[in-house]
Amino acid sequence: MKLTPLSVGYVPLVDAAPLMVADQMGFAETEGLALELVPAPSWSSLRDMVAFGKVGAAHMLSVVPVAMAMGLGGMTTPLSAALVMSVNGNVIGVGRALEARLREQGYGFDFADAAAAGAALARAADGPLVIGAPFPFSMHVELLHYWFAATPLSGLPIEIRTVPPPMMAQALAEGEIDAFCVGEPWGSVSVENGAGALLLPGKAIWSFAPEKVLAVRSDWAEADPQLLGRLMRAVWRAGRWLSQPDSHTAAAELLSRRGYLDIPPEVVDRALSGRLTITPGGEQRRSEGLVEFHAGAANFPWRSQAKWMAAQLAARHGLDREAAIRAAGQVYRTDLYRRHMAGVGAELPSASEKLEGAILHPTAVPTQAGRLTLQPDTFFDRRIFDPSA
Amino acid sequence: MHLQHFCGLLLFMSEPLTIVVVEQDRDRALAIVDALKGAGDCEVVVIGHSSGLARRIAAHSPDVVLIDIENPTRDMLEELTLASGPLERPVAMFVSGAASGLARAAVEAGISAYVVDGLRPERLKPILDTAIARFHVVHQMRAELAETRRALEERKVIDRAKGLIMKARGVNEDDAYAILRKAAMDQGRRVAEVAEALVTAAGLLS
């Protein structure tokens, strides 16, 4: 069989795993694809590579296509999120100085309770805080703002500063930032380098936060729908493989390779297994589903997820909320997902939107073919976002 | 590093453009500055170190910001597109339709340019043409360097593979190379690939 070549861009992170697995474990080949994986040095470069057609598709921050649809950022080419590649996966960490002050207060670093962590951090901070995040349009920044607003951190002068993930540990060690929110393995790398300690997983703020999407130019999605469908199915099968505990060791080995992350496999494995070392002293914490590639219909691009991001962005940037929410609804393509994922075993929920934050326990919902169990999607302050309100 | 150069020629009636070049390598930065100085009436500021990049760029309120696409600190510039204070000017990466051809050419040359809203394409074009030409040269040199390194690495691996064959089969160096070359031809692979496979396999067995 002759394979169709297709270039796909990514930023070296644990959550780019579905692309590497699709390429290396034969899922792309099964769909007749020869993937050319192109690492990008920055998110803005990757966005431009998709927009200008240097790559067909990309591993992309979930917020970027929404922000672009709202006219935020330097580029306005319409992008579509064909599926969610991963849910959760970020960690929040603090530098050694803040870690020491938190300990002096008797804070236990439970790596779970966002309200308690916010209150403790606000007490420990003795002045303005500078917090590093990889990109202005990212779930990292959205989670940080959400966390600040609902904790005593709201009373502090806080600056969020853009720092590329591989430079986060160094920026923390040099005191350029006091804390960070970053995707794995870069949080664990700062622990490994002795630069900081991990305070919270991102999921402690929003327990089912879409983190990366498979992004394509909207006109590309229409120009060659068959090609997109094959890519989506390969990525979806790779995500299903990654979600099996038996796959973690092999996946960590694969990702740690020099061409991909170039990080020791035991450090990569922490995010995949949810067993994190949170301090340079070696304290361990468990966090189930730290990054999720499959379970609970993780790959379904709920329009309500995009609308939540749009509402947050609109409020912060002074844009019209209704227009933003309308634009965002066009970007998360439940229609593409339903069209291309029928018949491969992917669960297709009957609805395309849900009340974000309303699922407190694993809940069975109707699908086009039967039933599906959705995972909790709560915000730590138990607020609920109604996409139609 | 923080250099400032003023381009003296007053070729335009309008104010000189302020261009910020983000580049850590001093020699490359100087070459780009020299080229830009020849392109028109402009003030060029080079910023090398990356800490507080967006703020330091904004302090110059530039008309154009140029940065290598391969530079990982480029994401720090994205904050410039959000400038909203009364004294700040929004910067976009080629929003106007007239400049979209220029934008594509720049991206293909490996350069990202952030341009202040409303800057006319005819003022931008000579600068970008110059920058693109300069970046082409830089990227070519980088590619040649990478190629030289790769060739050196390959020669080392081939030498080690020859040594293994000479030892295992008791042949001389020329014969060892002939064996390698024949294996490569039979398998439709490059000699260096076969040598690499042999060295890896030998490492596992020893």
A173 touches chain B (CB under 8 A): no
Asked if residue B167 and residue B108 are part of one domain, the reply reads no
- Closest residue of chain B to A48, computed from CA coordinates: B107
**CATH number of residue B201's parent domain:** 1.10.10.10
Q: Do B73 and A42 touch (CB under 8 A)?
A: yes
Q: Which residue has the tokens 């909203």?
A: B84
Asked if residue A101 and residue A59 are part of one domain, the reply reads no
A166 touches chain B (CB under 8 A): yes
pLDDT of residue B59: 83
Among the partner residues B75, B92, B93, nearest to A135 by beta-carbon distance: B75
Asked if residue A220 and residue A192 are part of one domain, the reply reads no
Q: What is the pLDDT along chain A (389 residues), one digit of tens a residue?
A: 689 999 999 999 999 999 999 999 999 999 999 999 999 989 988 998 898 888 999 999 999 999 999 988 767 789 999 999 999 999 999 999 999 999 999 999 999 999 999 999 999 998 899 999 999 999 999 999 999 999 999 999 999 999 999 899 999 999 999 999 999 999 999 999 999 999 999 999 999 999 999 999 999 999 999 999 999 999 999 999 999 999 999 999 999 998 899 999 999 999 999 999 999 999 999 998 899 999 999 999 999 999 999 999 999 998 999 999 999 999 999 999 999 998 888 889 989 999 999 999 999 988 877 778 999 999 999 999 999 87
Asked if residue A348 and residue A220 are part of one domain, the reply reads yes
Asked if residue B56 and residue B156 are part of one domain, the reply reads no
Among the partner residues B76, B79, B95, nearest to A76 by beta-carbon distance: B95
Q: For A315-374, how does the pLDDT look when each residue is reduced to its tens digit (9 = 90+)?
A: 999 899 999 999 999 999 999 999 999 888 888 998 999 999 999 999 998 887 777 899
- Side by side, the strands of the sheet bearing A57-61 are A33-39, A4-10, A57-61, A210-217, A79-88, A291-292
Task: Count CA atoms within 13 Å of residue A9 on its CB side.
Answer: 25
Q: What is the pTM of this model?
A: 0.83
pLDDT of residue B146: 82
Asked if residue A43 and residue A158 are part of one domain, the reply reads no
pLDDT of residue B83: 56
Chain centroid to Cα A259, Å, comes to 22
Residue A269: inside a domain: no
Q: Do A54 and B79 touch (CB under 8 A)?
A: no
Residues 6+ apart with CB under 8 A from B144: none
Q: For A193-227, how does the pLDDT look when each residue is reduced to its tens digit (9 = 90+)?
A: 999 999 999 999 999 999 999 999 999 999 999 99
Number of domains in chain A: 2
Asked if residue B164 and residue B93 are part of one domain, the reply reads no
Asked if residue B135 and residue B154 are part of one domain, the reply reads no
Residue A297: inside a domain: yes
Q: Do A42 and B92 touch (CB under 8 A)?
A: no
Look at residues A249, A301, A335 and name the one whose alpha carbon lies nearest to residue A87. A301
Asked if residue A144 and residue A254 are part of one domain, the reply reads no
Residues in chain A closer than 8 A to B79 (CB atoms)? 136, 162
**CATH number of residue A58's parent domain:** 3.40.190.10
Residue A218: inside a domain: yes
B114 touches chain A (CB under 8 A): yes
Q: What are the beta bridge partners of residue A161?
A: A132
Residues in chain A closer than 8 A to B104 (CB atoms)? 52
Look at residues A209, A171, A174, A230 and name the one whose alpha carbon lies nearest to residue A306. A209
Number of domains in chain B: 2
Residue A374: inside a domain: no
CA A162 to chain B, closest CA, distance in angstroms equals 5
Asked if residue A236 and residue A119 are part of one domain, the reply reads no
Considering A168, A191, A208, which residue would you say is the last residue of a domain? Answer: A208
| Residue-range definition of the domain harbouring residue A176 | 90-208
| Residue-range definition of the domain harbouring residue B186 | 148-205
**CATH number of residue B35's parent domain:** 3.40.50
Considering B144, B165, B190, which residue would you say is the last residue of a domain? Answer: B144
